């Protein structure tokens, strides 16, 4: 066999191997392209569609191959390649979706019946992307504008067809522009059907596109939607770029929750291999498939989750499940058929987002700490903070803080604070025999070395304005007072009264706390895990730490942004906490409580929400989908197992429509369909505003991601999490 034939055979084999569809078997085999190894199983991700100006870089060089009948190396060691060329000129059309079925015969019968009643074009189209609602769609169209489609809906309504949906589709028309590649300082033209391979020069190299780094190799080719760029990569490496974008390891830093997400994402990816075969790849890198952002978003914790579940997928009766997941379920997931209008799916049933084994820990303190007031303001938390840092003596009697403070006490407190901040200043002028606002201002400015700020950041006019009520002050005194007022360390001028007024211990402590806080927060922040035998487990920056909780710990609970002294607190795990520790002991613990509920997704900011929309705003949005005219009213007609609205009556001056399932969310522009509606009326009785009070974020079907985090916090492993949200499944290792 001559060299030319060998090259042709190698190229043909690689094209068939890499692009001929998903592997039949999943194993530990490896595949090579010109010496570059990619372990099986591999996946092809579309990271750019309909591209015109493409810039590809390599961390340490890449080989560029042109693969067609003739096989050649365009560059043996390129650092950067720029490709410019034709882009598909996109125009749009609109069609009306009438029905979706699993069987083509059923779809054909619906279309045949409809053709006898309509003059418009009726056709059946296969949609491989939607495997829940049905893959055969009956459509009416085409329409050049949404308005034409809306007019046709009126005709459909007249013959009794009510539940229809307008779909916008892209139409491609090719522009006659050549394809050019600029590499190694040379500009070359390429044919329309050229396929380019970009191969890192060594296994440690990576490729970059649009500012993102990627493992594996790139392939550039033409498609029905213009030029596409494909990242060919091992599935496990792909998942390392998916999991942290679907469930943040920064905000949801529980390994077992991330492992559940990894199994769900792997199952989805393998089940949907070949979904975009017509474009030459398997999945997109967007939320339409799964969010994939390459190497830069990888995180050690989420990568560990992928590695520890390698090859594991979720199966139902031996088949890969459709592993749907939602961000925040609002307390209960929903039956899939109530959201996606398809047939019931046995493993996607409504599930309450609570954990039966939910533990409860009770923390108590022997500290009988009473509220401490300064000028009507409770400063108990600030005092506890300073005591815990050992800046103040352990004194909790409120009367102590109502007494005048001495110069010696104040200097001692300031020096201890400076030491904690990594500062040292022993140059305190002992001439100040009394402590008032003026002397405290000098002590703080001198101690924290803020004189340069005072000199350069305070205008003379500012100082004069802020201290205009204070007579007989020197310019330097006015400047110091003004700086501390501007920065919020001292109160407003009207609350100072007289700058010569003697200060109490409580006042000086409070202003010192503000001075410290303006420099640095000396407390720690994290997540409460559990409590046992006077030891508390806390997460800080994904690291689990254990501390001794001292018997006289200062306890504070934060609810609705208000911090309150507590002698006893109950905790489920997962609460946000702030603490001060010294020598492995926690002296100060502040707990921020989520809403008072036991549901697992309570920590999500979208657990509860409220949106107020005007009639005009909703009318404009709804008319993009249904020709209702002027909006009159919106009424919930039917709710699902989770109390999500699954049928909604929308009334207008021109028509009334029933909106179902997930379409409700799109039509109203809401985060979820778990909501109630409050209405405001004008004097004529017409609705002017709609207020939606709701829970959750997403479609509400399958795995609740924040709920998974809640279960993990309470001790559940990833298999328990998955089996809760996907009923009746098994977790199996397929490679």
pLDDT of residue 125: 87
Residue 144 or residue 329, greater confidence: 329
pLDDT of residue 92: 73
1-87+177-236 matches 90-174 in fold: no
The token duo for 583 is 């020598």
pLDDT of residue 27: 42
pLDDT tens-digit readout, 184-218: 777 777 777 788 999 998 888 899 999 999 999 99
The Cα–Cα gap between 625 and 666 comes to 9
The token duo for 468 is 């205009």
pLDDT of residue 423: 87
What is the rounded (10 degree) CA torsion for 284, 286, 290, 292? Answer: 90
- Answer for the pair 219, 298: CB distance below 8 angstroms, yes or no: no
pLDDT of residue 15: 38
Cis peptide before 142 (omega within 30 of 0): yes
Which residues are within 8 A (CB) of 688 and not within 5 positions of it... i.e. 6 or more apart?
614, 615, 680, 681, 682
pLDDT tens-digit readout, 608-655: 999 999 999 999 999 999 999 999 999 999 999 999 999 999 999 999
pTM of structure:
0.75
The CATH number of the structural domain formed by 361-367+523-592 is 2.40.50.320
pLDDT at 24 > cutoff 50: no
pLDDT of residue 667: 94
Q: Which helix (H) or strand (E) holds 688?
A: strand 687-695
pLDDT at 6 > cutoff 60: no
The token duo for 440 is 């405290």
* Helix axis angle, 437-447 to 475-486, nearest 10°: 80
Region 652-677 average pLDDT: 95
The Cα–Cα gap between 585 and 546 comes to 9
The Cα–Cα gap between 176 and 88 comes to 9
- Answer for the pair 612, 691: CB distance below 8 angstroms, yes or no: yes
Q: Which helix (H) or strand (E) holds 637?
A: strand 631-639
The token duo for 576 is 């946000």
pLDDT tens-digit readout, 466-509: 999 999 999 999 999 999 999 999 999 999 989 999 999 999 99
Which residues are within 8 A (CB) of 136 and not within 5 positions of it... i.e. 6 or more apart?
100, 101, 102, 103, 104, 106, 107, 124, 125, 126, 127
pLDDT of residue 283: 96
Region 246-274 average pLDDT: 95
The token duo for 447 is 């101690």
Band the pLDDT of 87: cuts 50, 70, 90. Answer: low
Q: Any idea where the domains of the chain sit in the sequence?
A: 1-87+177-236, 90-174, 361-367+523-592, 390-519, 609-695
Region 589-600 average pLDDT: 82
The Cα–Cα gap between 50 and 229 comes to 9
Mean pLDDT of the chain: 88
The Cα–Cα gap between 548 and 581 comes to 9
Q: Which helix (H) or strand (E) holds 480?
A: helix 475-486
Region 164-180 average pLDDT: 69
Cis peptide before 496 (omega within 30 of 0): no
**Rg of the chain taking only CA atoms, in angstroms:** 33
pLDDT at 586 > cutoff 80: yes
Task: Name the one residue in this structure whose structure tokens are 């025999």.
Answer: 433
Region 17-32 average pLDDT: 43
- Answer for the pair 404, 410: CB distance below 8 angstroms, yes or no: no
pLDDT at 3 > cutoff 50: no
Using a 10 angstrom Cβ sphere, with 0-12 exposed, 13-18 middle and 19 or more buried, the burial of residue 116 is exposed
The token duo for 626 is 């249904």
Top mean-pLDDT range of 224-233, 370-379, 682-691: 682-691
The residue count for the chain: 735
Q: Which fold has domain 1-87+177-236?
A: Tumour Suppressor Smad4 (2.60.200)
Which residues are within 8 A (CB) of 74 and not within 5 positions of it... i.e. 6 or more apart?
64, 65, 66, 181, 183, 188, 196
pLDDT tens-digit readout, 380-436: 999 999 999 999 999 999 999 999 999 999 999 999 999 999 987 776 766 667 899
User: 710, 717, 382, 708: which is closest to 571 by C-alpha?
Assistant: 710
Select from 2.40.170, 3.30.70, 3.30.750, 1.25.40 the CATH code of 90-174: 3.30.70
User: 305, 296, 228: which is closest to 263 by C-alpha?
Assistant: 305
């Amino acid at each position: 066999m001559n060299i030319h034939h060998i090259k042709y055979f190698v190229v043909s084999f690689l094209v068939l191997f890499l692009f001929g569809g998903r592997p039949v078997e999943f194993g530990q085999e490896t595949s090579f392209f010109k010496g570059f190894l990619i372990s099986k199983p591999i996946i092809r991700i579309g990271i750019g569609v309909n591209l015109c100006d493409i810039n590809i870089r390599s961390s340490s060089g890449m080989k560029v191959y042109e693969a067609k009948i003739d096989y050649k190396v365009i560059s043996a060691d390129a650092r950067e390649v720029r490709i410019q060329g034709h882009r598909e000129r996109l125009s749009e059309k609109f069609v009306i979706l009438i029905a979706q079925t699993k069987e083509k015969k059923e779809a054909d019968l619906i279309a045949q019946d409809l053709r006898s009643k309509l003059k418009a074009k009726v056709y059946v189209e296969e949609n491989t992307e939607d495997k829940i609602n049905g893959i055969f769609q009956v459509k009416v169209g085409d329409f050049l504008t949404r308005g034409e489609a809306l007019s046709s809906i009126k005709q459909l309504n007249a013959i009794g067809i009510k539940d229809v949906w307008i779909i916008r589709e892209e139409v491609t028309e090719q522009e006659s522009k050549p394809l050019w590649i600029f590499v190694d300082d040379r500009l070359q033209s390429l044919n329309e059907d050229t396929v380019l391979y970009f191969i890192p020069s060594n296994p440690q190299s990576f490729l970059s596109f649009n500012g993102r780094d990627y493992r594996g190799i790139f392939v550039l080719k033409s498609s029905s939607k213009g030029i596409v760029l494909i990242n060919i990569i091992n599935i496990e490496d792909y998942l390392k770029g998916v999991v942290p974008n679907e469930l943040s390891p920064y905000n949801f830093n529980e390994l077992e929750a991330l492992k559940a997400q990894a199994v769900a994402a792997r199952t989805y990816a393998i089940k949907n291999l070949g979904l975009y075969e017509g474009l030459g790849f398997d999945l997109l890198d967007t939320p339409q498939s799964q969010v994939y952002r390459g190497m830069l978003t990888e995180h050690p914790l989420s990568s560990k989750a992928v590695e520890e579940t390698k090859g594991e997928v979720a199966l139902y009766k031996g088949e890969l499940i459709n592993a749907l997941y939602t961000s925040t379920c609002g307390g209960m997931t929903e039956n899939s058929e109530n959201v996606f209008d398809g047939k019931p799916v046995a493993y996607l049933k409504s599930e309450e987002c609570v954990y039966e084994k939910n533990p409860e820990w009770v923390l108590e303190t022997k500290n009988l700490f009473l509220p401490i007031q300064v000028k009507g303001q409770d400063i108990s938390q600030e005092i506890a903070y300073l005591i815990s840092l050992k800046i103040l003596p352990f004194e909790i009697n409120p009367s102590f803080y109502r007494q005048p403070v001495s110069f010696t006490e104040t200097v001692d407190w300031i020096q201890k604070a400076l030491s904690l901040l990594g500062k040292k200043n022993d140059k305190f002028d002992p001439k100040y025999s009394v402590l008032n606002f003026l002397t405290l201002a000098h002590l703080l400015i001198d101690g924290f070395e803020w004189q340069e700020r005072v000199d350069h950041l305070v205008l003379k006019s500012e100082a004069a304005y802020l201290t205009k009520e204070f007579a007989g002050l020197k310019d330097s005194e006015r400047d110091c007072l003004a700086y501390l007022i501007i920065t919020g360390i001292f109160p407003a001028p009207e609350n100072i009264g007289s700058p010569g007024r003697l200060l109490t211990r409580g006042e000086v402590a409070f202003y010192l706390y503000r001075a410290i806080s303006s420099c640095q927060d000396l407390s720690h922040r994290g997540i409460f895990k559990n409590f046992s035998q006077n030891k508390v487990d806390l997460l800080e920056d994904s690291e689990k730490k254990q501390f001794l909780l001292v018997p006289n710990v200062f306890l504070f609970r934060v609810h609705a942004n208000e911090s309150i002294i507590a002698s006893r607190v109950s905790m489920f795990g997962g609460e946000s906490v702030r603490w001060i520790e010294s020598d492995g002991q926690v002296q100060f613990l502040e707990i921020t409580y989520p809403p008072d509920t036991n549901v697992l997704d309570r920590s999500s900011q979208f657990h509860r929400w409220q949106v107020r929309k005007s009639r005009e705003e909703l009318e404009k949005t709804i008319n993009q989908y249904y020709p209702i005219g002027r909006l009159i009213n919106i009424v919930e007609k039917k709710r699902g197992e989770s109390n999500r609205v699954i049928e909604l009556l929308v009334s207008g001056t021109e028509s009334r429509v029933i909106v179902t399932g997930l379409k409700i969310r799109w039509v109203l522009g809401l985060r979820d369909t778990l909501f109630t509606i409050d209405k405001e009326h004008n004097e004529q009785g017409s609705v002017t505003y709609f207020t939606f009070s709701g829970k959750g974020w997403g479609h509400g079907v399958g795995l609740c991601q924040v709920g998974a985090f809640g279960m993990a916090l309470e001790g559940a492993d990833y298999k328990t999490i998955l089996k809760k949200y996907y009923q009746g499944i098994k977790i199996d290792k397929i490679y």
